Each structure stands twice: as structure tokens, then as C-alpha cells.
Structure 1
Amino acid sequence: MTERKPRKDAVRNREAVLAAADVLFTRCESPADVTMADIATAAGVGKGTLFRAFGDRTGLIRALYAARLEPVREAIEEGPPPLGPATPPLERVPALLDAVLCFKLDNRHLALALEGNGSDSPYRAEHYERWHTLLHDMLERIPGLTDSAFTAHALLAAVRADLVEHLAGHEGLPREEMRGHLASFAAALLGTRPRGG
């Protein structure tokens, strides 16, 4: 049985909705300000189209987040060093954390909307489980490191969207300073020295 291709207008509508949501989340003061009605109006589609395509607001946010994250995912799964799979874990773990931090800095409102939607524990979200599994697997390959599952959680806690928003948005911590603090934190946990340190 062959899988049915989506109709051209459905594909076009989906792209319009994701583009409209992208703009609205980028420009908003708070992710909670962006409603499905706002997105439908900006995309030039009916609200029913949104619900049919994405299920609900969380489904739409997940789809937009996944689309934006795709280049990072590709770099991690198939790319060259320092993110790619051929990189030794002691170098790859800090590179992965830095990539996640930079992604969340560049997509603060969207990351906040996804991680703070209140519908479920953020630790059971698909994107979190993917990052945790990847980090856990890398940490398992580092000799002498114990409790790699907890260490993966601790490292991911340092790049939670609410912390990134607090540091960047409320405290005004510059991007490069945040990246430096994260590199030092990872190095301390891993027993290495940060690059340039």
C-alpha cells in the first residue's frame, strides 16, 4: 500500500502556517501572547486548517521547533567535527551543549513556548528525550565518568529555555559569556578544560 501524498494546497497551507508562526513567535513579548487565531490570520487560513494539520497549539509549536532544529539535528547525526559522530565524546559533548544553547538563544520565545506549555513534564517531551539519549550515549563512552544518565540531565538543565531566558533576557548576560560559562560547567563535570582555557 502506497502512502498518499498530501495535496499541494495542504502543503502550501502548512508552509504558510509555519512561516506565520515563526514570525509571530520571533516578534512576541511572551510566547503566551501568540494564539492559534493570530497564526491563522497571519497565515491567511481558517483556524480549522491549523487544528487539522497540527492537532493543537502544542502540536504546531512542536512542528515549528522541529523545522528550525533540523540543521542542528543533521549536523549532530551526519556532520563533521566538532558536532558530528566521528568526534570523540569529550569534545562532542561540549559542542552539542553549545549548539543547543545557541539554538535556544536564537529561538528563545519558541523554546519557551515548547518547554513551558504546561501540558506535560518537559522531561518526557520527545525533543528532551532525544537530547538526553544522545548525551547519555556519549557520556557512557567517557572512561571514569559515573552516573552518565544523571550527568546528562544536569548538563541539559543548564540549557533549559527558562534559564536561557532568565540569563539572556532578564539579566542581560551576553551570548559569548553564557557560552563560556556553559563550557566551563561542562568541563568541570567532565574533568576537562574548556577550549581556550
Structure 2
Amino acid sequence: MPVSDRLPTLTVSEAGPPERGDAARNRALLLQAARRLVDQRGAEAVTTDDIAAAAGVGKGTLFRRFGSRAGLMVVLLDEDEKAQQQAILFGPPPLGPGAPPLQRLLAYGRERLKFVDTHHALLSDVNRDPQMRFNAPMTLHHSHIRLLLESAGTSGDLDTQATALLDLLDADYVRHELTDRGRSLADLGDAWDTVARKLCGT
């Protein structure tokens, strides 16, 4: 069975019952305000008070709609996560199906590094919440890596090896390597390739 056929979707949120008109409107206002403020200031500088005020709603509305500040930040990532999911599951090779597992794993690492760099502030913010750090998208990225390792014939504890690879894509680690150690995304991609190849026995 192809890897893509066994992967669940990587979306952040599951479809629920339709929201009332005012609830849907408030949700949209909060997301628009949050994205605008994050773009202007960076996620770490934006508070729930800021977002509620910019959206023109009470802070309680934010918590009713999203559960927490981190929950709102996760939803902001949803659209881009879905786009990357489509490329992984249905896009052209080597990121999508049709390439050998190792080639897909190498392409995935480099593509995800670019995603993490672009969305560093939001990913870092979400990772500070213990309940969100291991949310559905992160769990499913782990599953994708594990399945590629398995399809490449990797032996040993695949869960641990997938976790080790996923750690190379941690938002704060990537930012540290880029800003504090002066490495480039190409350097980090080369490091990913080296570890992935060794795990796959090449």
C-alpha cells in the first residue's frame, strides 16, 4: 500500500457543527485581527487582550472560540498546513507520491524546514503550550516520517528515529541554528539529508 494511502490528513481542525452567524463572524474577526497583529509585531508580542481589542470583541469570546491563545495560533497555521499536506499526499514527486521513500524523505525535510522558517513565530508560540505541542499536525508529521522510514526498509525503533528527525525541524532549534550559529537553510537541509540517509542505511 502506498505511503500516502495510509496517512491521515494533517489538518489542524476537524469539521464540527455549523457555527451560528454571530459566532462565525466573531471567529473570522478574531482570526483576521490575530494574523494582522502577528504580521506586524510577531506572535510573541501579541496578547489575547490585543487580539480581542483589535477584533472588537471581548476576551471571553476569544477563549470560547479557540479555547486558549495557543489554540488560536494553531488555527492561524491551518491554511498553510493544509497546503503542505496536499503537496505531501497528492503533489508531484519527490515530495509527493511517485518517488522512492528516501527521496521523498529528503524532499520532505527541506520543504518542512522552509515552512518552519516562514512560520517560526507561530510554531514557537504553539510549542510553549504542553497541550498543543503534540497536537494533531505534529503527530501526523511524525507518522509521515515514520511511514517513509518503514517504506525505505529502516530497521530498529521507527518511532524513536522519526522523533529524532522531527526534532531537527523544531521551530526554536531551526531559528537558533540560523540566527545564532549562522547556518543557512541549505546547511540544515544537508544535515537532514545526512541523518535521513544514515537511518535508511545509505
Q: Matches of 1:176 and 1:148 in 2, distance apart?
A: 26
SS of corresponding position for 1:131: helix
Q: Deviations over 1:39-74 (max 9, x none)?
A: 112233322221121111121112112233110011
Q: Judge which range, 128-137 or 163-172, deviates more.
A: 163-172
Give the AA of the match of 2:30. Answer: V
Q: Corresponding residue for 1:83?
A: 95
Which of 36, 43, 47 does residue 59 from structure 2 map onto? 47
Change (3 A) 1:84 1:113: same
Asked whether the 8 Å contact 1:78–1:84 carries over to 2, the reply is yes
Indicate the residue corresponding to 1:170 in structure 2: 180
Q: Alpha carbons of 1:20 and 1:173: their partners in 2 closer, same or farther (altered >3 Å)?
A: farther
CA deviations 1:76-121 (Å, max 9, x no partner) are 122221222333211111112222211110011001001122x348
Q: TM-score, normalised by structure 1?
A: 0.82
Q: What does residue 126 of structure 1 align with?
A: 136
Q: Count matched residues.
A: 187
Cα distance, 1:4–1:151 mapped onto 2, change above 3 Å? closer
Partner in structure 1 of residue 9 of structure 2? none
Task: Measure, in 2, the Cα distance between the counterparts of 1:42 and 1:179.
Answer: 38
CA distance in 2, matches of 1:144, 1:130: 19
Distance 1:53-1:173 versus aligned 2 partners, 3 A rule:
same
**Structural RMSD (CA):** 2.3
Supply the distance in 2 between the matched residues of 1:26 and 1:170 (Cα, whole angstroms): 23
Q: Quote the Cα distance in structure 2 between the aligned partners of 1:183 and 1:45.
A: 47
**Which residue pairs with 1:28 in the alignment?**
41
Residue type of the alignment partner of 1:54:
F
Indicate yes or no: 2:38 matched with 1:16: no
2:199 pairs with one of 168, 186, 189: 189
Question: Any idea what the Cα deviations from partners look like across 1:155-187, whole Å, max 9, x if unmatched?
Answer: 101111110121123334233333333233323
Alignment-mate amino acid for residue 137 of structure 2: H
> Match of 1:156?
166
Query: Take 2:190 and 2:25, find their aligned partners in 1: how far apart are those partners?
Result: 41
Residue ranges of structure 2 left out of the alignment (5+ in a row): 1-15
Map 1:63-142 to 2 at 5 A. Answer: 63-117=75-129, 119-120=130-131, 122=133, 124-142=134-152
1:170 & 1:134 partners in 2: Cα distance? 30
Q: For the residues of structure 2 that align with 1:161 and 1:9, how far apart are their CA atoms?
A: 35
CA deviations 1:131-170 (Å, max 9, x no partner) are 1111111211112543322211111011111101211233
Percent of aligned pairs with the same amino acid:
35
Task: For 2:169 and 2:121, locate their aligned partners in 1 and report how far apart those are by CA, in whole Å.
Answer: 14
Q: Which has the higher contact order (CA 8 A, sep 6+)?
A: 2
Amino acid in structure 2 at the alignment position of 1:15: A
Q: Find the counterpart in structure 2 of residue 7 from structure 1.
A: 20
**CA pair 168-23 structure 1, distance change in 2 beyond 3 A:** farther
